[in-house]
Amino acid sequence: MTSSLTIITIGFIQAFFFAVLALTKKNKEVADYILASLFFILCYHLGVNYLMLSEDIKNFPYLIGTSGPLSFLYGPLLFFFIKNYISEKSRFKPKYLLHFLPFIADHIYNFVHLYFKTGDQKISIFNEIVAGRPGFEISISLLLRSFSPLVYSIWSIFVLRVHRKNLKKLYSFTSDKLKLEWLWYLTWSMFIVGCSAMILNSIIVFFDIVDWIRLREMVFVIATFWVFFLGYYSIRKTPFYRSYHIDGLDTLELDEIAEQPEKYEKTRLKEEDIPGLKKMLLDYIEISKPYLNKNLTIGELAESLEVPTYQLSQLINDQLGKSFFEFINAYRVEEVKERFFDPRFSNLTLLGIAMECGFNSKASFNRIFKQLTGETPTEYIRKKKTA
């Protein structure tokens, strides 16, 4: 067994292990079932290709061609995993079946042109491929199978960008965990794997002087590393984002509301209700000072005010012209400025005051303070003392 086949074997075992792990975890969500499906498909794909690359597939000719169409599933499954993890409201819709049409079409083609052939005929086709003569149909199929993960990687990056953009409308704080950095790593890693597969498969298709077996080994060695990457980040994914999930609204739904306002017309604020709700919000902020809670979300504030989360978001964004993040942190900065020169807080450091006012790190405090005042905290204090 070559070192490449050993690595692919490890990938096969890893994929099966991670699939079982995803299915046996407590409090499973839809995203966990999608993840398990993805790992089982990777397990089968790596297993069949191990047989092909070792040429043991000749002992199991009925498996020839069964794993190829699976390449069309990786992109959609990762895409739906990301959407379901970000938004618990993301439900399966009949139109989602369109994402699986390339997989179905590839299987139909194989059903017509390959599956009913005898074992000897399938082995003959396999030998032609190994010899560097895959034929036009198989060549096109190889390229399309590599192209699919690239398309869905880009699509997933767009979804994650929407999530990151809308975080400030729902949260008064930021963190890499809230931004779901690990999902960015997974998506970019699939993009890299897709690019690698596209390059190697293009060499197989357009250059007949290359060693087909060696190049395919490279493709699946890269895929094995992606299995580990996917398993490492997804199985140990932090519950941090779920801990601050906002009932009634999420980052992806905000974008849907912006794109289809007529769909949410009935839940929008009525003009006659705006002045009263605005006064209630500002009074509550001044008196109760909820911004001192460093993990404050718009959902918690809406619950305190006993108003729908979406309506409060609409009020802050449309009527006050700010994101929730900007709105809350402006109060935090003003609170910090008051406490800087208050004798009651003279025992605290500059950072200590900031943390008590709702900031959760020195970096975010310095950045937000300068954005809102045009000065660093130290510059502001020095200027006030010399005034």
Long-range pairs for 297-301: beta carbons < 8 A, 24 or more residues apart: 297/170, 297/171, 297/172, 297/244, 297/246, 298/169, 298/170, 298/171, 298/246, 298/249, 298/324, 299/170, 299/246, 299/247, 299/248, 299/249
| Residues 311, 236 share a domain | no
Looking at 224, 243, 262, the residue that finishes a domain is 243
Quote the pLDDT of residue 30: 85
Q: How many domains does the chain have?
A: 2
Averaged pLDDT for residues 222-237: 84
- Report pLDDT digits (tens) over 59-80: 888 888 888 899 999 999 999 9
User: Minimal CA–CA distance to 68: which of 118, 124, 109?
Assistant: 109
Residues 267 and 177 both lie in one domain = no
Mean pLDDT to the nearest integer, 233-254: 70
**N- to C-terminal Cα separation, the chain:** 79
Which of 156-165, 174-183, 184-193, 370-379 has the least mean pLDDT?
174-183
State whether 228 and 87 are in the same domain.
yes
What letter represents residue 170's amino acid?
L
Structural domain boundaries enclosing 278: 251-386
Q: The CATH number of the domain where 174 resides is what?
A: 1.20.1070.10
The answer to whether residues 233 and 258 belong to one domain is: no
Residue 68 near residue 111 (C-beta atoms within 8 A): no
Residues 193 and 168 in one domain: yes
The answer on 309 and 203 residing in a single domain is no
User: For the chain, what is the mean pLDDT?
Assistant: 86
What's this model's pTM, rounded to 2 decimal places?
0.84
Q: Which band of pLDDT confidence, cut at 50, 70 and 90, is reported for residue 259? A: low
**Residue 223 and residue 274 in contact, taking contact as beta carbons nearer than 8 Å:** no
Q: Helices in 54-130 by DSSP H: which ranges? A: 71-86, 101-113, 119-130
Whether 30 and 148 map to the same domain: the answer is yes
From 188, 215, 243, give the residue that closes a domain. Answer: 243
Residue range 42-62: average pLDDT?
89
Task: Check whether residue 33 and residue 171 sit in a common domain.
Answer: yes
Domain shared by 178 and 320, yes or no: no
Q: What is the pLDDT of residues 270-308, one digit of tens each?
A: 888 889 999 999 999 999 999 999 999 999 999 999 998
With beta carbons less than 8 A apart as the criterion, state whether 151 and 213 touch: no
Please give the Cα distance from 125 to 138 (Å, whole number).
Answer: 10
Give the whole-angstrom CA distance, residue 303 versus residue 247.
10
Same domain, 35 and 169: yes
Q: Which of 243, 273, 298 is the last residue of a domain?
A: 243
pLDDT of 266 above 80: no
Q: Are residues 212 and 304 in the same domain?
A: no
Q: pLDDT at residue 242 above 90?
A: no
Token pair recorded at residue 282? 């500002």
Residue 245 has pLDDT above 80, yes or no: no
CB 329 within 8 A of CB 316: no
Residues 199 and 269 in one domain: no
Please tell me the least confidently modeled range out of 71-80, 230-239, 301-310, 311-320. Answer: 230-239
What is the average per-residue pLDDT within 24-37? Answer: 87
**CATH number of the domain residue 300 falls in:** 1.10.10.60
